[in-house]
Amino acid sequence: MAIPQIDGLSQLADRYDAILCDVWGVLIDGRSHFPVAAEALEKFRARGGKVALVTNASRPSEEVRRQLDGLGLPRAAYDDLVSAGQLTLEQMVARDGEACHHLGPPRDNGLFEAADRLLGGKFRRVPLEDADYVVCTGLIDERRETPDDYARTLERMRERGLPMLCANPDIVVGIAGELVYCAGALAERYAALGGEVVMAGKPYLPIYAAALGRIAALAGEAPARVLAIGDGVATDLLGASRAGLDSLFLTEGVHRDELYPPPDRRLDVAAMGALLAGAGVKPVAFAPFLVW
């Protein structure tokens, strides 16, 4: 059975009580927000639906919320937010007493500052040679580097048997139309070397349990009908499938180049089918973008 294309979320809204919505590539591009996407979620909420944003961002949830404020995303578009960074933070706190090395850019320092606050100033952040574990939040210079630049670092980690907490399972993400590597790409390489990787975020179940728990707390009961919205097949759609949720696939996101090949840039339906089949997922519908 072919997957239907819809004109907008309004065609599905009556079927669901709650939405779990991806952020990067769906609501923002890293530089600005998408007004029509925000409007779609606002209209869903105006009908009584609940919306939780579920993002693989490697920063704590409150820090992501402030970032979205800065990009102009209205808070009226969502009820709550859960980030992979928040789940990573909880894992870091649970490792109280162990020394941590940060593999990633300085902009993610807030994650470690939050851990230090929660541990009463006892959080230990150390060089790689002194670490008990590594928290990977991404490439240090994502615009210029690739995972190949980290081959020796990953080998040193593997030699020491250091577990990696991956704060963002995404392999790539679109920023202002450009695809850049994320922490998930380094985690993938480390796992291939035989290293231990602990993932936070999509497509793994804990982030869905956290998001659904937030919605249940807001609504007073667990939502029976939930739609996951996203543009990543290996994260958003696979995670929704694992969690037993319906999904809406947005094709003009991270998979745009493979689904809309040159020269005409029209949707290649066969390529979409192969992409979805390869991941073993079947969304209830697809649309280019999130609109009402």
Q: Are residues 95 and 64 in the same domain?
A: no
pLDDT at 1 over 70: no
> Mean per-residue pLDDT for 261-285?
95
Could you read off the pLDDT of 184-197 as tens digits, one per residue? 999 999 999 999 99
Segment 199-212 shows an average pLDDT of 95
- Cα–Cα dist 131/128, whole Å: 5
Cα 116 from Cα 108, distance rounded (Å): 14
What pLDDT, on a 0 to 100 scale, did the predictor assign at position 178? 78
Q: How confident is the model at residue 259 (pLDDT cuts 50, 70, 90)?
A: very high
Radius of gyration of the chain (CA): 19
* 199 against 178, higher pLDDT: 199
pLDDT score for 174: 74
CA distance 160 to 214: 38
CA-CA-CA-CA torsion sign (149, 152, 158, 160): negative
Task: Mark whether 151 and 245 lie in a shared domain.
Answer: no
pLDDT greater than 90 at residue 177: no
Mean pLDDT computed over every residue of the chain: 95
pLDDT of residue 232: 96
Considering the domain architecture, whether residues 116 and 252 belong to the same structural domain is answered as no
Domain identity same for 90 and 230? no
Residue range 91-132, pLDDT digits in tens: 999 999 899 999 999 999 999 999 999 999 999 999 999 999
Is 44 within the bounds of a domain? no
**Which of 145, 164, 199 is where one domain is finished?**
199
Cis peptide before 147 (omega within 30 of 0): no
Q: Would you state the pLDDT for residue 146? A: 94
Look at residue 164 and tell me if it is in a domain: yes
56-69: average pLDDT: 95
Confidence band, pLDDT 50/70/90 cuts, at residue 142:
confident
Judge whether 199 and 187 are in contact, CB under 8 Å: yes
Residues 68 and 208 in one domain: yes
For the chain, what is the domain count? 2
Q: What is the mean pLDDT of residues 46-59?
A: 96
User: CA-CA distance, 213 to 224, in Å (whole number)?
Assistant: 12
Domain that holds residue 233: 9-22+50-82+203-273+283-287
208 with 70, same domain?
A: yes
What was the pLDDT predicted at 82? 98
Query: Within its chain, how far is the Cα of 103 from the centroid?
Result: 18
Helix (H) or strand (E) holding 116: helix 109-118
Q: What is the CATH number of the domain that holds 95?
A: 3.40.50.1000
